[in-house]
Homo-oligomer: A and B are copies of this chain.
Amino acid sequence: MARPVGKKGIIERSALELFVEKGVDGTSIRDIAERAGVTEGALYRHHKSKDDLVRALFFEHYHQFAQMIKTVRTTHDGPEELLPALVEEFFRFYDEDHYVFEFIMLVQHALLDEVRQDAANPVELVSRIIREAVRKRQLPKQDANLTTQLLIGLVIQPAIGARYGRVKRPLSRHVDFVAQACLEIVRLGK
C-alpha cells in the first residue's frame, strides 16, 4: 500500500512486484536484489529463505485482507447488503494496489493448506453468507459451494482481465454491474 520505507520494505516491495510480473519461480533472488538496489545476501538478513519471503509477504497482506472482510461483515447484513459491499471492497483493494491483490491470487493455492481453515478465508466467508441467507429464507435453496465459486469468479476474473488489458481500470467503476450480477446469481435457485 504505502510506499515502502527502509531497505527491508524496499526489498519486500521489489519482490512483490517481481513475483506478480514474472511469477515466483520466474523471479530470482538476484532479480529482487537488483531491483531493490542491494546485494543478494542482504535479503537473508530479513528472511530466512526465498520461500520464507513469499510466505511473509502473503500472510502480511492476507491479514489486511481478512481485516477488511471482517469489517464488512460487522457493518452489513443480509446478502443484498453484504455482497455489493464485498464487491466494492474487493475492487477497492485491487485499485489501491493491484500488485498486492494479484500476488495474493497468485500464491494462495500454494499456501492453501495453511489458509483453508481460516475463517477469514474469503471462500469460506462467502460460502457462510450464502448458507445463512438460505437458512433464513432470504435466498432460495441452492448448492452453496457452487454459487460461492461463481461469485468468486465474478470478482477475480475482472482483475485478471484488467491485467491483460481487457478490462478498464479502476475496477471500482464496475462495482455496480458486478454486484448486480452477483445478486442475480444467488437469487437463481436451482
Contact = CB atoms under 8 A, between A and B. Distances in A.
Interface of A: 23, 25-26, 109, 112, 123, 143, 145-146, 148-150, 152-158, 160-161, 164, 166-168, 174, 177-178, 180-181, 184-185, 188, 190
Contact of A153 (B123, B156, B188, B190): B156
Given A25-B26, A156-B153, A143 B177 contact: yes
| Interface-central residue, A146, A178, A185, by most chain B CB under 10 Å | A146
A130 to B, nearest CB: 13
Given A25-B25, A149-B167, A153-B154, 13 more contacts: A145-B167, A145-B168, A146-B178, A149-B157, A149-B161, A150-B178, A150-B181, A152-B161, A153-B156, A153-B157, A153-B158, A156-B157, A181-B185
- Chain A interface secondary structure, helix, strand, loop or mixed? helix
Contacts of A152: 153, 157, 161
Top 6 closest pairs, chain A to chain B, by CB: A153-B157, A153-B153, A25-B25, A149-B161, A184-B184, A149-B157
Given A153-B153, A178-B150, A164 B25 contact: no
Nearest to A158: B149
Nearest to A177: B190
Contact of A188 (B23, B26, B143, B180): B180
